[in-house]
Chain A
């Protein structure tokens, strides 16, 4: 499989990364080079093989459903680029 400019533009939109036309032109052959190389995985016979879900067998733990944290609003907001009135500030989303 290979990608064209339109496909890369669509992926970039899905990934929320703004790309310029020249960047797109540059990325298409790079991504196609990588895709052509990973294509070889198709040769592997995986009949009856389960996809890996955990690399080391482990069980997912559950903790008690109690409050263990909180009351740290200012710490949470400390690195926000636009914290206002104790909230994360974002551009207006509703007209």
Chain B
């Protein structure tokens, strides 16, 4: 019999529909993998095996009754612990929200359950999605299932902020997981763990019920083992939601049905500015391979310029903390979450004590940065300037997309690093998102697909950036790479 946990979204859904196996068997197989890996990988904050089984039983019953099955019917998934789930602890990996059990369900998770998916549990992440290595979680680091091939035993970062999602999918604890991407938080962890992930156009997936970090950037998206699974899951997640004021009021395309790796007549842009001085050799080689693969798929390669690329990251580190400082003002110890009320303290002291106790160091750093750049006397020099630079970055992309259909670049400047290697210097951590942030600032769809392994035996990802609303173009180029990269490597089981 097929090992069920080796199957992806499409294979599980189709196998359940055809009666090759029961949805409950799939849920139980993944539940077992989740339980067995928890101690070593720490990918989940809370496991919900009963939810996975319950959803699977409903799908099996529907099938037996001859009812129509949803796009994700019988597929158990991991839910990043940034999505509010009714009655199930939702923490954003913070002490502030420890024990918080929402009385409502996020739009994206509800849509997935409506499509027949079940929940294996809530996945660990960087605290409030702030981090690139999953080392800022209050509930401990997530350990990547990957190891370097040097015979050493160094713990490797799964990337962040969706590090629980990336580790769980690559370790076969779930066939797919939700992620969110503010400045690379789907793409960078996907690249670090040899899986695929897409951040759709800003507004495709509702932000309602997603713990807010930087609202003008936050977008949910799927993380899975291949491009087709991402397309299927994104169809289930996307769609207009009147409860999100920036939700796109547009029909959801049939991305799965529209998949085609034939890129004849398409133009692929290769941005000169992304080829930075001192670029990692393996990353440069992988990028060149990607160019050759897309050429082989029929595309014409065009050198393009995105002149403001180097300013994207500093602009991001003004805009995102500014929005975060405002969004996180809601954690006041009054309405929900932690309260720290020192003996005899008044209201103001309670706020300050609660927020000191509830937020981790990186979250505090960003709130302080954001408060500073928005404060009187500095607002124009920092925040307004950054938003002007953001306009220029979006214009760069617009001009590029007059010439080309998609853009190809590396996802991250290096393969995964070891835990603890970048925690001493916040800036060196931030620089890991240098290739991911520009597309976020411009609200464009972008995905990472696995391209190969580096000399240390760790995965490398390639990034495809598309025009606004053209997820199909992104997925198609991703599929062309996937078919040629022949990436079959997976972490050797040690946990």
**Which residues of A come within 8 Å of B, CB atoms?**
1, 3, 7-8, 11-19, 27, 30-31, 33-35, 37-38, 40-42, 44, 46, 49-56, 58, 60-61, 63, 72, 75-76, 78-82, 88, 90-93
Q: Interface residues of B toward A: which range?
A: 35 or more
**Which residues of B come within 8 Å of A, CB atoms?**
100-104, 201-203, 216-217, 242, 245-246, 248-249, 308, 310-311, 314-315, 317-318, 325, 329, 332-339, 341, 345-353, 355-356, 359, 364-365, 367-369, 371-372, 375, 378, 381-382, 384-392, 394, 425-427, 430, 441-443, 468
Q: Which of A17, A41, A55, A76 contacts B352 (CB 8 A)?
A: A17
In the complex, the answer to whether B336 meets A17 with C-beta atoms within 8 Å is no
In the complex, the answer to whether A82 meets B352 with C-beta atoms within 8 Å is no
In the complex, the answer to whether B443 meets A11 with C-beta atoms within 8 Å is no
In the complex, the answer to whether A38 meets B335 with C-beta atoms within 8 Å is no
A-B contact count (CB 8 A): 163
Residues of B with C-beta under 8 A to A27: 365, 368
Q: Which of A1, A16, A40, A58 contacts B351 (CB 8 A)?
A: A16
Residues of A with C-beta under 8 A to B386: 38, 41
In the complex, the answer to whether B468 meets A56 with C-beta atoms within 8 Å is yes
The 3 closest A-B pairs by CB, nearest first: A55-B443, A51-B387, A81-B339
Residues of B with C-beta under 8 A to A7: 372
In the complex, the answer to whether B242 meets A63 with C-beta atoms within 8 Å is yes
Question: A49 vs B394: C-alpha distance in the bound complex, in angstroms?
Answer: 12
Contacts A46-B388, A63-B242; is A56 near B203 (CB within 8 Å)?
yes
Contacts A34-B427, A44-B392, A80-B335; is A91 near B346 (CB within 8 Å)?
yes
Residues of B with C-beta under 8 A to A51: 384, 387-388, 390-391
In the complex, the answer to whether B365 meets A1 with C-beta atoms within 8 Å is no
Residues of B with C-beta under 8 A to A17: 352, 355-356, 359, 364, 367-368
Question: A40 vs B318: C-alpha distance in the bound complex, in angstroms?
Answer: 12
Residues of B with C-beta under 8 A to A18: 349, 352-353, 355-356
Contacts A33-B426, A56-B468, A63-B242; is A41 near B318 (CB within 8 Å)?
yes
Residues of B with C-beta under 8 A to A41: 311, 314-315, 318, 382, 385-386, 389
Nearest chain A residue, comparing its CB with the CB of B392: A49
